[in-house]
Amino acid sequence: MNAARAVPEGGVNVATVRVGKDESLDSALRRFKRQVQRSGILVEAKRHEHYEKPSDRRRRKAAKRARKAR
């Protein structure tokens, strides 16, 4: 599965990194952090941190569409 691809709602997105034989742990951790950022795992977690009312969700999406249309 490509980490950069969006995961459908309710799906599981797991970032995995295999550490090479002579690879340092720092470089593997750096690759993992990059993969997590690209896949949007943290953004999704922050979005679920607090409940968002459906009306607020619609308002946020409408504002996003308006910004994008400019």
Return the pLDDT at 64. 94
The total number of structural domains that make up the chain: 1
Q: What are the pLDDT tens digits along the chain (70 aa)?
A: 444 455 555 666 788 899 999 999 999 999 999 999 999 888 888 988 999 999 999 999 999 999 999 8
Structure tokens at 45: 């977690």
Domain assignment of residue 32, given as a range: 1-70
pLDDT for the residue numbered 44 = 87
pLDDT of the residue at 9 = 59
pTM to 2 decimal places:
0.57
User: pLDDT at position 8, please?
Assistant: 54
Put residue 15 in one of left, alpha, beta given phi > 0 → left and psi -120 to 50 → alpha.
beta
CA dist 24 and 38 (Å) reads 22
Q: How far apart are CA 5 and CA 35, in angstroms?
A: 11
